[in-house]
Amino acid sequence: MRQLLNTAITAAIEAGKEILKIYHSEDFNIETKVDNSPLTKADKASHNIITSILKITDIPVLSEEGRDVSYKERKNWNHLWIVDPIDGTKEFIKRNGEFTVNIALIEYQKALIGVIFVPVSGELYFSTNAKGTFKAVVDIENFNIERLISNATELPLKRKDNTFTIVASRSHMSPETESYVEEMRDKHGAVNLISKGSSLKLCMVAEGQADCYPRFAPTMEWDTAAGQAICEHAGFEVLDWKTKKPMLYNREELLNNWFLVK
């Protein structure tokens, strides 16, 4: 497990290095995918780096930017990596720094390992089901995996402000989410609402900075797998809004139901 975690962290950081080179350039080479979401050459570069590093594990990879893998093939994968080379491509294009690299190891539809790296800030979140969830800050040009892991801070942290805090999507706020926020205001009185991009919203709950993250808009498995690991291993829940049970992965339908993190 430790070696798999080390490999996933290395893949995320090395991808982050290449992403930053493009982020600080003037050439994103933006394309539009069939679902109207943006794709940049940084997404492609990150995908290539991550898959080349994860290849040594002999575990199949399901990546947003990888080839389409039929469920007929995937259903026999008891273990797989689920990867989002850049979660928050819109935030990447806006250059607001709120994008992440997401890598999760799934075993029998549940997350064993989660790694989320924030290239611009150097923040690294990682977790295993056996050890819990941790946060570190990476010197991207000079990092040592063992030192990073041993010096990391365990999550969640205690928050000084007890105001009920909700974190929601910066780019995908929905009327249903706004209604949920109003319900929480009725229940808790004052509510602090924070907007964030990418899987940083799940990280905020895992870190103890937010009490919940309602997502009542479309997401895919690669958007949430690593974040669910980070949250669950820190003692929080990521509940499918329809089933009221933890979300499962490597499903036939890769589109997630709405969910609530708390």
In angstroms, the Cα distances linking 260 to 124, 172, 185 are: 23, 15, 17
Look at residue 34 and tell me whether its pLDDT is greater than 90: no
Number of domains in the chain: 2
First-to-last C-alpha distance (Å) of the chain: 27
Do 6 and 118 sit in the same domain of this protein? yes
Residue-level pLDDT at 31: 84
> Span 220-234, mean pLDDT?
98
Q: Are the beta carbons of 16 and 140 closer than 8 angstroms?
A: yes
CATH number of the domain to which 58 belongs: 3.30.540.10
CATH number of the domain to which 238 belongs: 3.40.190.80
Bridge partner residues of 137 (DSSP):
123
Look at residue 193 and tell me whether its pLDDT is greater than 80: yes
Convert 221-252 to b/e letters by CB count within 10 Å (16 or more is b): bbbbbbbbbbbbbbebbbbeeeeeeebebbee
Q: What is the pLDDT of residues 137-171, one digit of tens each?
A: 999 988 899 999 999 999 999 988 889 999 998 77
pTM for this model (two decimals) = 0.95
Do 97 and 9 sit in the same domain of this protein? yes
Q: What tokens appear for 218 in the block? A: 């479309």
Domain coverage including residue 229: 164-261
Do 32 and 66 sit in the same domain of this protein? yes
